[in-house]
Amino acid sequence: MRKIFFILIAFFFVCKLQAQDYPRDYFQPPVDFRILLSGTFGELRSDHFHSGIDIKTNGKTGIKVYAIADGYVSRIKVSAYGFGKTLYITHPNGFVSVYAHLGSFKESIAAYVKKEHYKKESFELNIFPEKGLLPVTKGEVVAYSGNTGSSAGPHLHFEIREEDSQIPVNPLLFGIDVKDYIRPKITGLKIYAVQEQSMINGDFKDIVYVPEGWGEEYRLPGYDTVTAWGRIAFGIRTYDLLNDASNKNGVYSVELFMEDEMICSYTLEKFSFDESRYINSFIDYSDFVEKKTRFQRTKIDPNNKLSIYSGIKNHGVISIHDSTVHKFEFVVKDVKGNTSSLTFFIRGKEGSHNKNETGLHPDQENYFSYDHENIFETDDIIFEAPAYAFYDSFAFHYDSTDRVEGGLSKVYVIHDKHTPVHLYCKLSIRSDPIPEELRDKALIASVNGDGKLVSAGGNFENGFVITRIRDFGDFCVTVDTVAPEIRPLDISKNKNLKGRKSVRIVIKDDFSGIKSYEGTLNGNWILLEYDAKNDLLVYYIDERLQKGDNHFKLEVTDQKDNTSIYETLWGVGE
């Protein structure tokens, strides 16, 4: 009977998807081969939800990418970071298709983009061609796949967005076919003691279970019944598999029921980029920091503004104050309607409450309220957080330790890394007197677990070094006086370039990071494509390299204005 019920649920779920207002026969796929995915829409990533699907290209670049419908190129972005080379096509039906991490554009678009590079004398571009300037037709090759930007390997990142809002929508709701007959996997259940007096299995702490089962039904080990008292919440660890691909992808929806009444539900149909960082409230952030696992929580923090939720009761928190047995069920679905469920039981059991109920109180020292500006100040540091910088209120902690190698101040412990920060906060640290000639080289560094310094940026001002931070941790003042490295990879000075197609040069800065670079040939700016993740500049040889001797000059500057210059003659023989 239960199997029949879930088959009916899956059937109606798929029908519901097909009945959405999204056109399912309008768009063709962006590639001409069977689609295998390495990433799904809404997948949980560091500090954001994945805004599209990642299409495998068999580890290769240069794969043809097609316009999914008629339209026009409305935006082109080129960056050494993020999406790398990206093409945006606006379609007449009110949607925009996005193709990212591209290796190159088709010839006519590439020619337009190259003119813009030279017009702006910049590799970084974010341009919006006039409507009609670059029209495309359905099925036309518009680009070739690559591995640009922050891509971790060759693939095509593909999105469909609403034109008016630029909100990304799950592309698999538009009829793009991906073979998937596999149910989601449920690998963890976490039960949270929400208050200090909450008890789970007779203790005042959270508990984690690894469910047993497979297919559509999961259960707790040994059919265990949990005992609890007070306010509790839940977290589920789950992922989805697709046919013929081993990647652990994100699921489409999760629902939690108590006695068949919905307590919490969320669906990855669409979301705005403005809300994507709220993922750090959606997941168990502390568990992720410690173990790199992501439990999806039912408890909704007061400053969690995610739009993916529905059917929420009591902010996703349950109160157990009776001795009866309560049935709970998580139902997890992928976008194809494949379903898995985890059923478990909780019996109310009041224990001996030996713990004092402390809680948080607005009048306690260093109480940070999530919806107010918060300032902590000593003689040595000032920490300023705007209202809504945090997802919930908490008691702020501060400490200091001795200097570490390379530091010009004590190390200041600003709360702890287990608490997520949503908005940028201002951190000011006083250091020992810094010689005037080094003040413009001063910055703040975070100090990791082994004492290594990592730049957090900043500038000297009125006796303090000031920066913006978006993570708690340990910080100190230091300086950066070392200029970037410039190292030609495949060419020596005064080299004859006849017959060459490109020149590759490594640029690297091991601390504050590259701020700018500029290459000139015979005194004129030339396009050097920057692959930041590989510290690589590439000049694709063109008509700007003339016969005879050519004077090449490269100037690279880091974030503290330390500069390196490389000069040579490039010859082109007869």
Token pair belonging to 425: 């906060």
Q: Which domains are delineated in the chain?
A: 2-33+53-169 (2.70.70.10), 185-348 (no CATH), 367-479 (2.60.220.30), 485-572 (2.60.40.1220)
| Look-up of token digits 């993740």 | 533
Banded model confidence at residue 2, pLDDT cuts 50, 70, 90: very low
The Cα-based distances of 438 to 263, 467, 511 in angstroms read 58, 17, 16
Residue 496: closest CA among 569, 424, 559: 569
The Cα-based distances of 353 to 324, 346, 395 in angstroms read 19, 19, 23
The mean pLDDT value for 432-438 works out to 89
Percent of the chain with pLDDT over 70: 94
- Residue 228 C-alpha from the chain's centroid: 35
Token pair belonging to 506: 């490594």
The mean pLDDT value for 116-141 works out to 97
Edge-to-edge strands, sheet with 464-471: 374-377, 381-385, 420-430, 464-471, 459-461
**178: three-class secondary structure by DSSP:** coil
Specify the pLDDT at position 498: 80
Listed range (193-197, 493-497, 507-511, 513-517) with the worst mean pLDDT: 493-497
Contact 281, 302 (CB under 8 A): no
pLDDT tens, position by position, 325-367: 999 999 999 999 999 999 999 999 987 665 555 566 666 678 9
Token pair belonging to 310: 């529905």
Banded model confidence at residue 4, pLDDT cuts 50, 70, 90: very low
Task: List, in sequence order, every residue forming a beta bridge with 320; answer none if it has no partner.
Answer: 230
Specify the pLDDT at position 574: 63
Q: Residues 87-91: contacts with CB within 8 Å, 24+ apart?
A: 87/142, 87/143, 89/136, 89/142, 90/131, 90/163, 91/26, 91/27, 91/163
Contact 215, 181 (CB under 8 A): no
The full length of the chain comes to: 574
Helix (H) or strand (E) holding 452: none
Residue 555: closest CA among 472, 467, 483, 453: 483
Token pair belonging to 2: 């239960």
| Vertex 76: Cα angle to 73 and 82 (nearest 5) | 140
Contact 515, 459 (CB under 8 A): no
| Vertex 109: Cα angle to 106 and 112 (nearest 5) | 145
Token pair belonging to 568: 């040579």
- What b/e sequence results for 71-89 when a residue is b if at least 16 CB atoms lie within 10 Å of its CB, and e otherwise? bbbbbbbbbbeebbbbbbb
| Look-up of token digits 């000075």 | 493
* Alpha-carbon gap, residue 463 to 572, rounded angstroms: 54
pLDDT tens, position by position, 9-32: 444 444 444 436 899 999 999 999
Token pair belonging to 106: 């088709």
Pairing of strands 141-145, 155-162: unpaired
- What DSSP line would sit under 41-105, residue for residue? TT-EETTEE--SEEEE-TT-S--EEE-SSSEEEEEEEE-SSTT-EEEEEE-TTSEEEEEEEEEEE
Banded model confidence at residue 466, pLDDT cuts 50, 70, 90: very high
Phi, psi of 482 (to 5 degrees): -100, 125
DSSP annotation of 251 reads: P
Specify the pLDDT at position 361: 62
Specify the pLDDT at position 171: 98
| Look-up of token digits 């009866």 | 324
Is the predicted pLDDT of residue 116 greater than 50, yes or no? Answer: yes
- Global pTM reads 0.92
DSSP annotation of 26 reads: S
pLDDT tens, position by position, 392-414: 999 999 999 999 999 999 999 99
Token pair belonging to 184: 């989601």
Residue 453: closest CA among 470, 474, 471: 474
Mean pLDDT for all residues in the chain: 93
Is the predicted pLDDT of residue 6 greater than 50, yes or no? Answer: no
Greatest distance between any 2 Cα atoms in the chain = 93
